[in-house]
Structure formats: C-alpha cells, structure tokens
Amino acid sequence: MKIFSFNPKRYKLILTMKPQTLFRLKFCCIILSFITVNFACSAQQGEQEGWNNLSAIMKKIVPPTFASHDYSIVNYGAKADGTTDCLPAIKNAIAECNKAGGGRVLVPAGTWFVKGPIHLLSNVDLHLEANAVVKFSTDADDYLPAVLTRFEGVELMNYSPLIYAYNQKNIAVTGKGTFDGQADNDHWWNWTGSKRFGWREGMPSQHDKENEPAMMQMAAKGIPAKDRLFGKGHYMRPTFVEFYSCKNILIQGVTIINSPFWLLHPTLSKNITVDGVTTNSLGPNNDGCDPESCTDVVIKNCSFTDGDDCIAIKSGRDADGRRINVPSKNIIVQDCQMKDGHGGIVIGSETSGGVENIYGQNCVMSSKNLERAIRIKSNACRGGVLKNFYFRNLKVGQVHEAVVKINMHYANEKGADCNYPPTLSGVYVNNIVSQESEYAIYIEGLDDKPVTNINFSNCNFNNVEKENFIKDAKDLHVTKTTVNGKVANINK
C-alpha cells in the first residue's frame, strides 16, 4: 500500500528541471488530475444512482397478511410434554387452516416434539407464542420421502428440510418462540466428514463418491433433478427452513438453533421479508440466511451467530446453476448484527445464475470468531455476472481476516468444466469503520478477467496488521479513506 509523503530528493529534482521538462510535467499532472477527478465523479454518480433505486425496491417487498382465524395445535391433539409426536396435530391444523382460506396455526408456550418435517401450505402463518420451543427429531428417516431441494446450489431429491414449502404463496413463520433442530456432533453434523464435528475414520460422509460427487456428476450430465435420487444412505444434510418456488414470504421474530445445515434458505422465490430473526447455530455449513435465485428480499433487524456465513446470497452452482439460470437480485440487508461466522454479508460462492443489486447498510459486525465483514467469492467453475453491490454505514469491530474480501479463486477449484470466469463490476463501499483486522482490503481477481469498478470512500480501517492485497483489479478507486490513520492511495 502506498501512502502520500514528502520526498526531499524528488523536490530537489523538480527544482533543477529545464523549463520545457517542467512544462511537460505540469501538463501530465493536469491530465492525470482530470482523469482522476473524472473517475471519482463517475464512481460517485454510479453509487448515488444505485442508492436512489433502493426505495423503489423496498416498495415492492410487501409482507403477506393473513385471515384473523387461529388454529391452536392443542385442539388437534398436540401435547407439550417434549416427547409426544406433535407432527400429526400440526399437519392437521395447517391443512384445515389452508382449506378454510388461511389464518394462524398457533403453537402455545411449552416444549413440542415433532418426528419429521413441517410442510407449510398457502395462506398459513405458523406462529410460535413466547416460550414455545419446537424440537425436531434427529432420526434422518423421519425426513423421508425425499423432496425437491438444493444442496449447495444443485437440485436433487433429498431429505426434506425441517420446515418446507413448495410452490406455495402467502406463507409465514412468526412469533417469539424457538425452533431447535437438535443437531450436534452425534446427529447430522458428523456427516460433513470433519473430525471437529464428530466424524471418525470408517464413518460415511457427504464427500463419499456416491454422495456429493455423484450429485455433481449427475448435474454435469444434465440428468433431470427428479432422477437425482439421494436421501437415505447418502448423508446429505437437509436445510432448516426452505421455501422453494414460493412467493410472498414472511419469517419474523423466531429464534433458530442447532441446524443440520443452512438455516434459512429461500430458493427461486419472490417477495421475501426476514425480520427480527435470531440464528444461533455453530455447526458445519451453518449459514444464517442464504437467499438463492431469489428476487425482492429484505433481511432486517436480525442477529446472526453462525458456524459459517451469516448471510450468503447465491444463485446456483456450476452446470446446474447455468441450466436454471435465475439470478438473485434486489436484496437488502439492513440493521442487522453479525457475530460469529465466516462472513457478515457474503455473495457466493454459488453464483452461476448471477447476482445483482445487493444493498447492505447500518449493520454492526464484530467477533473474534467473525472472519470477514464483506465477502464476494466465486471461481471459474461457478461463473455468473455479478454487479451493482452497495454497502454503507457499517460498524465493524474485530474480524479475524479482512474487512472486505473479494476472491475469484475461491476454493481453487479446477476441472474440465471450469471455463466460466465470473464477471464482477460495480462494488461501492462507503463509510465503513473497523477497529481490528489482519487486512483492510483483500482483492484477488482472475488473470484473464480482473474485477472492475471497485470503489471505497469515507472508510477508516484501524489496527490493521498487513498491507492491502490487490491483484487483478481494474478501475479501483479509493477516496477519503485511511488505514491505521494514514491516507490510503491504492487507486489502480
């Protein structure tokens, strides 16, 4: 990183220059200043235009409303003793509520056990009252038959998510209660193949050739998703909440803990509000909220303490993502707290369908176990067009690695089908204040496809250990920004 400073030798050299040389130098400086100012004005204009579009996006995101009829699961035989299977009662309440035109399915205070997944239907709000706890079975067989889902960006038939809806509209999960997946090193997490999470030599894992590798091969060959049959015997963990091909979604107020896999995973869905949700799950791949191939989403007033990314915006993986080819766009993250996790606000790595128009503002991020604040990750296997990302007014305390990291070599994946370099352009970062990190800015594009139009303004990075890392980036503009109290000059 270069810092402006006075150099006596250079000053003496200027004084001894011939008039013609000095004139040329002045002329070059004027041209350079003009170009710099022009780039800065262009960047400011692009940033302002992006933020000006925010209100129009917000107006399109309208939470669903529900009929004023309540259906208590107690009236359908549920018992709050923590052992009786309440799933039949919940299913019947949801079915009757849906048939009658909608309303709330009420889960009163108490501990309720369910031996399998809850499948929501249109016009139903599953509402947990204060001090209600729904505990899910850890027997994988309870989550069969398999349903259409995505595993890390690839469609397949797999174990049902713990809370699931397919092709429904006007659905909600609300209240002040808790959903507990009861995942731990003895249940679900050891399938990841990591000794840290309970796996031991000789145990099966998702990485065995007949599991995730087989899924990737089937997707690459174009085998229809309905014929990619996994589930029992394949050790591919389900997500917690997954609404697939749905619209008009509200997830509000609830707490979600101990998830087998990703926690909130709306997929191919539209008009989504996630408001005031708390996630606390430190298992493997325990992302907090992962909108995938979704449009018009707001995530606000939430608290994330997770074993992986707090929020990760995705759009499908590799060949399967390109086949479906639906981007994630018009997604807003605001007024959230990010604690433990691999990243606060993350785009990727499953970006094959593209990601655009992402906004993050007024968030607080800090933890010795939070690795990065903003992260954009992809690679030439994923591909995708990534553009128009806007971040402002972020308070970052401590992060383990970089405050802002852009990496187009994510996971260093290689292969015959890795000829789809992603395109990243138009990243605007304004008014970040950080207190402790290894790097302030870490950017690594691709040799043959540099990232472009990356902009930092009015940022202050404090107690940074290492110099910024910048590789394969074009049109990088840094204005009114300091690192360890010194003006940062890393324009490229």
Q: Which residues contact 205 (CB under 8 A, 6 or more apart)?
A: 190, 191, 192, 193, 199, 211, 235
Structure token digits, residue 376: 């954009």
- Note the pTM of the prediction, 2 decimals: 0.92
The confidence score (pLDDT) of residue 430 equals 99
Q: Residue 302 region, left (φ>0) first, then alpha (ψ -120 to 50), else beta?
A: beta
The DSSP code sequence of 367-401 is: -TTB--SEEEE--TTT--EEEEEEEEEEEEEE-SS
3-state class percentages of the chain: helix first, strand second, coil last, to nearest 5 = 20, 40, 40
The b-or-e profile of 276-301 (16+ CB within 10 A means b, else e) is: bbbbbbbbbbbbbbbbbbbbbbbbbb
Q: Which residues are catalytic?
A: 308, 342
DSSP-derived pairing of the beta strands 178-180 and 124-128: unpaired
The label of the residue with tokens 């808790």 reads 178
The confidence score (pLDDT) of residue 491 equals 74
Q: Greatest CA span in the chain, whole angstroms? A: 96
Before 145, cis peptide (omega within 30)?
yes
The confidence score (pLDDT) of residue 29 equals 52
Encoded amino acid at 266, one letter:
P
Structure token digits, residue 247: 């619209």
Q: Can you tell me the distance from the alpha carbon of 477 to that of 488, in angstroms, rounded to the nearest whole number?
A: 10
> Of 466, 472, 462, 410, whose CA–CA distance to 439 is shortest?
466
The confidence score (pLDDT) of residue 28 equals 54
The confidence score (pLDDT) of residue 50 equals 95
pLDDT tens for the chain, 492 residues long, are: 443 344 555 545 555 656 666 566 565 555 555 545 555 566 788 899 999 999 999 999 999 999 999 999 999 999 999 999 999 999 999 999 999 999 999 999 999 999 999 999 999 999 999 999 999 999 999 999 999 999 999 999 999 999 999 999 999 999 999 999 999 999 999 999 999 999 999 999 999 999 999 999 999 999 999 999 999 999 999 999 999 999 999 999 999 999 999 999 999 999 999 999 999 999 999 999 999 999 999 999 999 999 999 999 999 999 999 999 999 999 999 999 999 999 999 999 999 999 999 999 999 999 999 999 999 999 999 999 999 999 999 999 999 999 999 999 999 888 778 999 999 999 999 999 999 999 999 999 999 999 999 999 999 999 999 999 999 999 999 999 999 999 997 877
Encoded amino acid at 79, one letter:
K
Using CA atoms, how far residue 243 sits from 44, 207, 211, 220, 294, in Å, is: 37, 26, 24, 25, 11
Q: Can you tell me the distance from the alpha carbon of 336 to that of 344, in angstroms, rounded to the nearest whole number?
A: 10
The confidence score (pLDDT) of residue 26 equals 63
Q: Can you tell me the distance from the alpha carbon of 243 to that of 225, in angstroms, rounded to the nearest whole number?
A: 17
Q: What residues form DSSP beta bridges with 407?
A: 377, 444
DSSP-derived pairing of the beta strands 423-436 and 385-398: parallel
Could you give the strand order of the β-sheet that contains 374-377, starting from the edge strand earlier in sequence? 311-313, 345-347, 374-377, 402-407, 439-444, 469-471
* CATH number for domain 39-64+309-492, candidates 1.10.10.10, 3.40.309.10, 2.40.40.20, 2.160.20.10: 2.160.20.10
Encoded amino acid at 148, one letter:
L
CA of residue 183 relative to chain centroid, distance: 21
Q: Can you tell me the distance from the alpha carbon of 246 to that of 264, in angstroms, rounded to the nearest whole number?
A: 14
Q: How far apart are the first and last CA of the chain?
A: 11
Instruction: Name the residue ranges covered by the structural domains of the chain.
Output: 39-64+309-492
The label of the residue with tokens 């729904």 reads 134
> Of 63, 71, 67, whose CA–CA distance to 94 is shortest?
71
Give the SS3 label for residue 469.
Answer: strand
The DSSP code sequence of 220-273 is: HTT--GGG-B-STTS--PPPSEEEES-EEEEEES-EEES-SS-SB--BS-EEEE
Residue pair 320/153 in contact by the 8 Å Cβ criterion? yes
